[in-house]
Structure 1
Amino acid sequence: MPVPAPESSPIPPDIAALSFEDALAELERIVRQLEEGRGKLDDAIASYERGTALKRHCEAKLREAQAKIDRITVTADGSFGTEPARID
Structure 2
Amino acid sequence: MAKTAPASVKTPPGVDFEHSLDELEQLVARMEGGELSLDESLASFERGIGLFRHCQQSLQQAELRVRLLLDPDAPDSAEPFEPEL
TM-score normalised over the length of structure 2 = 0.65
User: Which structure 2 residue ranges, 5 or more long, are not aligned?
Assistant: 1-14
SS at match of 1:83: coil
Instruction: State the shift of 1:85 in Å.
Output: 6.4
Question: % of aligned pairs identical?
Answer: 38
User: Which structure 1 residue ranges, 5 or more long, are not aligned?
Assistant: 1-17, 75-79
Structure with greater proportional strand content: 1
Q: RMSD across aligned C-alpha pairs, in angstroms?
A: 2.3
| 1:64 and 2:79 are equivalent in the alignment | no
Structure with greater proportional helix content: 2
Give the structure, 1 or 2, with the largest relative contact order (CA under 8 Å, sep 6 or more).
Answer: 1
Distance 1:65 1:24 in 2: 15
Residue number among 74, 77, 81 corresponding to 1:81 in the alignment: 77
Matches within 5 A, 1:8-87: 19-70=16-67, 71=71, 73=74, 81-84=77-80
Q: Count the aligned residue pairs.
A: 64
